[in-house]
Amino acid sequence: MPRPKTHDDALRVRLLHRAGELLSAEGPGALSLRRLAADVNTSTTAVYSLFGGKSALLNALYDEAFRRFGERVAEVPETEDPVEDIVRMGLVYRESALADPQFYLVMFGRAVPSFEPAEESREAARRTFLPVVRNVGRAVRAGLFAEVPHEDAALALWGLAHGLVSLEINGNLPPGVEVAPMYERAVRAQADGWRG
């Protein structure tokens, strides 16, 4: 009879989730493989078996963060209105960040200053941006946006979303701000600013 698999995908996901929490809450000094294993009630052998070491764990964390984010953005259905699709992607950007704040810093905050993702991981991360570029192109071709370089407009839209979400997640918004309606108005105003 084969031995039961103890280092399964569920353990892998728990380790990644906890690693993201440690990094975002306490910084890179808190992420030791020994502590991570103890926090998830497993052994350091399991961490090495699943990831091969700290560098590979960080790369897997980066990959998982962008995988989740990319899936959410890709789930935004394409409609006849590319500008509204862009706005909805901006709303999903915030929803994703709030659903997985432990991954947000890993994605965009250089949680471990010395960490450099593998090139294939960077390329996978870049692909999460392409749906926005594609919808900007649709908006330009439909005459809804001015004739602008698609990546320029997409980057400006993405940057607004990123800036507001970063302020929110890091607790830097003024007290009393109703974040969700303010955020949506800002995303809509940015999209409207690109109209032809």
Q: What are the tens digits of pLDDT across the range 1-54? A: 443 456 678 999 999 999 999 988 888 888 899 999 999 999 999 999 999 999
pLDDT at 7: 66
* Pair 9, 64: CB distance under 8 Å: no
What's this model's pTM, rounded to 2 decimal places? 0.86
| Window from 2-6, 20-24, 163-167, 189-193 with minimum mean pLDDT | 2-6
Kindly write down the DSSP assignment for every residue of 96-161, as one continuous string: HHHH-HHHHHHHHS-SSTT----HHHHHHHHHTTHHHHHHHHHHHHTTSB-S--HHHHHHHHHHHH
pLDDT at 188: 97
Average pLDDT, the chain: 91
pLDDT at 1: 43
pLDDT in tens, 81-127: 999 999 999 999 999 999 988 888 888 877 777 888 999 999 999 99
Q: Supply the DSSP symbol for 193.
A: T
pLDDT at 2: 43
pLDDT in tens, 48-87: 999 999 999 999 999 999 999 999 999 999 999 999 999 9
pLDDT at 45: 93
